[in-house]
């Protein structure tokens, strides 16, 4: 089954919720994984089930990185705030590196996330 991770910095959480609403029909057919707070918000606000890892500051992003290393994820959406990210928020450097090593697509903006999700959706057509 297709499996993707959803992560968002604090300022981008409303954007990822909006993205999930837009793609809710497709996302309801795949396995979703998220960091603690992002996953909780997605579940509470959309009703979709998200396997929650620890929050980013507690290593959730690293747990997702481990899944990438195990080839357990088909893609990652990490909506990050490049201008005002807080020190407690996940760092993209390690995820970017592990995604590159394992040829796993990683989207960091709304536009690239839409391309990633549209590409995955074509698999179901």
Task: List active site positions.
Answer: 61
Is residue 88 a known part of a binding site? yes
37 is in an annotated binding site: yes
| 56 labeled binding residue | yes
53 within 8 A of 23, measured Cβ to Cβ: no
- For residue 9, say whether it is annotated as part of any ligand binding site: yes
Residue 38, annotated as binding a ligand: yes
Nearest to 108 by CA among 83, 74, 70, 82: 82
d(CA 63, CA 24): 24
Binding residues: 9, 13, 35-38, 55-56, 88
Which residues are annotated as part of the binding site for substrate?
Answer: 9, 13, 35-38, 55-56, 88
């Amino acid at each position: 089954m297709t499996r993707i991770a959803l992560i968002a910095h604090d300022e981008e959480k409303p954007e990822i919720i909006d993205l999930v609403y837009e793609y809710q029909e497709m996302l309801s057919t795949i396995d979703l994984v998220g960091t603690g707070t992002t996953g909780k918000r997605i579940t509470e606000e959309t009703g979709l089930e998200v396997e929650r890892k620890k929050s980013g500051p507690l290593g959730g992003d690293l747990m997702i990185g481990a899944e990438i290393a195990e080839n357990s994820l088909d893609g990652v959406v990490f909506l990050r705030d490049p201008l005002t990210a807080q020190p407690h928020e996940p760092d993209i450097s390690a995820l970017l590196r592990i995604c590159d090593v394992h040829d796993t697509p990683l989207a960091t903006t709304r536009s690239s996330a839409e391309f990633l999700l549209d590409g995955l959706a074509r698999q179901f057509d």
